[in-house]
A and B are shown apart, each in its own frame.
Chain A
Amino acid sequence: MSDAEFRVQFAGPLVSFQDAGRRGHMRFGVPASGPMDRLAYRAALAALGATADATVIEVSMGGLQLECVSGRLSLALAGGDFHIEIGGTKLSGWVVFEIEAGQRLSIRPGKQGSWAYLAFAGDLQAERWLGHAATHSTSGFGGGQLQTGQRLRVENAQLREDRHGQIALAELRNMADPMRVVMGPQDRCFTDTILSSYRQEEFRLTDAYDRMGVRLSGPELTLSEALSIPSEPITRGSVQVSGDGVATVLLADHQTTGGYPKIATILACDTDRLTQLRAGDSLRFQPVSAEEAVTISRSYAAALDAYLAEIGEPKGTLAQRLMRENLISGYELSAEANDAAEPGGSARK
């Protein structure tokens, strides 16, 4: 085992270090942060055989270019439909691949999806805050946002050839499905007419979208009374409505308390799916009961665990795989298959 080093040739805005997130400090004004799309983060780590809370780079639509300065190691990329170019070779995301000193890696967004996770076989070094490298974007605490010219170091860099190749896409979610919500806590502040348009009409993401949240456009969600609630705790997935009737969905770096009424809160699994939409993409909401929400959550967790276990299995040595599946052309074929896939890695049923 040895170390590997990279130089950041270019990092777009909101490209940051993330890990599983720092839970437990919301009472002190600190949200968990961590990956916007927890499914894709976990998939990249599982496919690479990395620990479940390892530090990765969350790549935004701004893209990322790295140069490997020293070492040789395996990497994984999973998330939206992102494209990779490495040493002149093109790959599609949802892949485990290798890089060595002298090679350049470029990651750019494709047609769909907003975030991708670049995981390293080894320990990616990053600043930690409260024990975690997860970047809280508003304060910059944690690993921070990547800067052009910055050096990255990976300790214990490893080559895991038995894991190289495409990552099977998760059939856990369909991007076109409505976002399931539990209504409230302040749904009582809206008239029945407003509540029914919330349930039935289409909303769109706007470009007011960052790690704190995304503002939506759609029907105006007028409050039935000039409502002033004392500031109260808010959570990831909250759909808060400002005085002008505009809804904002709170995401990984949300403020922990606030005084705007919340019409509903999106289930965790659907909040992750929502983050892979882009400005202009449409969405609908579908209310479910609290009991249904827990049931959905549990079946999703079981399916996710099964999927992660499946993609976490090493594929075998290179020689074995060349024998088995003629991998050289296999790369090309699966790259095309990925182009047709849904964003966020959700395959069509």
Chain B
Amino acid sequence: MQELTFLPVADHALMVQLGTEVSEALSAQVVALDKAISAAGIEGVQETVPAFVNLLVEFDPLVTDHATLQAQITGCAERAEVRDNAGTLHEVPVCYDADLAPDLAAVAEARGISEEEAIALHLSGDYRVGMYGFAPGYAYLSGVPEALRVPRKPAPVRGIPRGAVLIAGPQCLVTTLKMPTGWSIIGRSPTEVLCNDPARPFLFDVGDRIKFRRIDRAEFDASYREDAT
């Protein structure tokens, strides 16, 4: 495990920094440390928020403080077991029909490939949940193949429906709400990341792996719901 840097955040949180550059290896370390902190059941810890290169620990200042936590988390890091490809593998169906993939042609053109090649590249990727953000259930997936990567659009487009499959740079995500986005829309999935299941409200955990599977329009129409939750 990398050497940890600790940065206090107000009176109620501690930022645990594992590195500065985004990589699969560092993500695996963040996940391992997150699990170790959770397993340790540290008094006063209210929640942890894992991201690409760091982890935020929210705590109750009536119970603990930054220095106490720093010592305990350093101990957790020593016990953390870093494992590659440790997360659960999910299969996420995607329909790439033109009306559901308004930016697919532009992405293909930008990369000098055909739309079918772009789809094949997207399906070939091994994706991993690096963190959540932006809106409830927005899981940032790393692993877009190099040949498919395109920059963000200069301005966001409004009203993108739930289930849109988006890419920007090395990242991909499946939207959960009708929201604006500056990412390229290359398909739509009936998969619901917001599961509406009290026992398991979000489909993916940080560190989970994802493979996309192509579906046809009939299969998409049979399972897509317009309304979220």
Known: A26-B49, A265-B9, A268-B12. A257 touches B132 (CB 8 A): yes
Q: Indicate if the CB atoms of A29 and B135 lie closer than 8 Å.
A: yes
Q: Across the interface, which residues of B come within 8 angstroms of A141, CB to CB?
A: 136, 229
Q: Indicate if the CB atoms of B202 and A268 lie closer than 8 Å.
A: no
Q: Across the interface, which residues of A come within 8 angstroms of B52, CB to CB?
A: 230-232
Q: Indicate if the CB atoms of B198 and A230 lie closer than 8 Å.
A: no
Known: A230-B53, A233-B49, A290-B66. A29 touches B137 (CB 8 A): yes
Q: Across the interface, which residues of A come within 8 angstroms of B138, CB to CB?
A: 29
Report the tally of A-B residue pairs with Cβ distances under 8 A: 140
Q: Indicate if the CB atoms of A181 and B10 lie closer than 8 Å.
A: yes
Q: Indicate if the CB atoms of B136 and A139 lie closer than 8 Å.
A: yes
Question: How many Å from the CB of A242 to the closest CB on chain B?
Answer: 15
Q: Across the interface, which residues of B come within 8 angstroms of A28, CB to CB?
A: 132, 136-137, 201-202
Q: Indicate if the CB atoms of A293 and B56 lie closer than 8 Å.
A: no
Known: A230-B52, A233-B51, A290-B66. A257 touches B134 (CB 8 A): yes
Is there a chain B Cβ closer than 8 Å to A182's Cβ? yes
Q: Across the interface, which residues of B come within 8 angstroms of A230, CB to CB?
A: 20-22, 51-53
Is there a chain B Cβ closer than 8 Å to A88's Cβ? no
Closest A residue to B203 by CB, please name it: A28
Q: Which B135-163 residues sit within 8 Å CB-CB of chain A?
A: 135-140
Is there a chain A Cβ closer than 8 Å to B11's Cβ? yes
Closest A residue to B17 by CB, please name it: A185
Question: How many Å from the CB of B52 to the closest CB on chain A?
Answer: 4
Q: Across the interface, which residues of B come within 8 angstroms of A290, CB to CB?
A: 8, 11, 65-67
Q: Across the interface, which residues of A come within 8 angstroms of B139, CB to CB?
A: 29
Q: Once the chains are docked, how many angstroms separate the CA of A293 from the CA of B21?
A: 30
Is there a chain B Cβ closer than 8 Å to A286's Cβ? no
Q: Indicate if the CB atoms of A130 and B198 lie closer than 8 Å.
A: yes
Closest A residue to B53 by CB, please name it: A230
Q: Indicate if the CB atoms of B229 and A235 lie closer than 8 Å.
A: no
Query: A149-178: contact bitstring with B at CB < 8 Å (1 yes, 0 no)?
Result: 000000000000000000000000000000
Q: Across the interface, which residues of B come within 8 angstroms of A238, CB to CB?
A: 9
Query: A227-267: contact bitstring with B at CB < 8 Å (1 yes, 0 no)?
Result: 00111111101100000000000000001111000000111
Q: Across the interface, which residues of A come within 8 angstroms of B56, CB to CB?
A: 26, 232-235
Select which of B21, B51, B132 is within 8 A of A232 by beta carbon.
B51
Known: A185-B7, A265-B9. A139 touches B135 (CB 8 A): yes
Question: How many Å from the CB of B86 to the closest CB on chain A?
Answer: 16
Closest A residue to B54 by CB, please name it: A232
Known: A29-B135, A230-B51. A130 touches B201 (CB 8 A): yes
Query: A274-304: contact bitstring with B at CB < 8 Å (1 yes, 0 no)?
Result: 0000000000000000110110111001000
Q: Indicate if the CB atoms of A24 and B46 lie closer than 8 Å.
A: yes
Q: What's the dominant secondary structure at chain A's contact region?
A: mixed
Question: How many Å from the CB of B23 to the closest CB on chain A?
Answer: 10
Question: How many Å from the CB of A274 to the closest CB on chain B?
Answer: 12
Q: Across the interface, which residues of A come within 8 angstroms of B132, CB to CB?
A: 27-29, 256-257
Q: Indicate if the CB atoms of A233 and B65 lie closer than 8 Å.
A: no
Q: Which A107-157 residues sit within 8 Å CB-CB of chain B?
A: 129-131, 136, 138-139, 141
Select which of B8, B9, B133, B202 is within 8 A of A256 by beta carbon.
B133
Q: Indicate if the CB atoms of A268 and B177 lie closer than 8 Å.
A: no
Closest B residue to A185 by CB, please name it: B7
Is there a chain A Cβ closer than 8 Å to B61's Cβ? yes
Known: A24-B46, A235-B56. A293 touches B10 (CB 8 A): yes
Question: How many Å from the CB of B183 to the closest CB on chain A?
Answer: 14
Q: Across the interface, which residues of B come within 8 angstroms of A27, CB to CB?
A: 47-50, 132, 206
Question: How many Å from the CB of B194 to the closest CB on chain A?
Answer: 9
User: Would you mind naming 27 contact pairs between A and B with Cβ atoms under 8 Å apart?
Assistant: A23-B46, A24-B47, A25-B202, A26-B47, A28-B201, A28-B202, A29-B132, A29-B137, A139-B177, A141-B229, A181-B10, A182-B10, A185-B15, A229-B20, A230-B20, A231-B131, A232-B51, A233-B55, A235-B58, A265-B10, A290-B11, A291-B65, A291-B66, A293-B8, A293-B61, A297-B11, A297-B62
**A residues near B, CB below 8 A?**
23-30, 129-131, 136, 138-139, 141, 181-182, 184-185, 229-235, 237-238, 255-258, 265-268, 290-291, 293-294, 296-298, 301
**B residues near A, CB below 8 A?**
7-13, 15, 17, 20-22, 46-56, 58, 61-62, 65-67, 131-140, 177, 198, 201-202, 206, 229
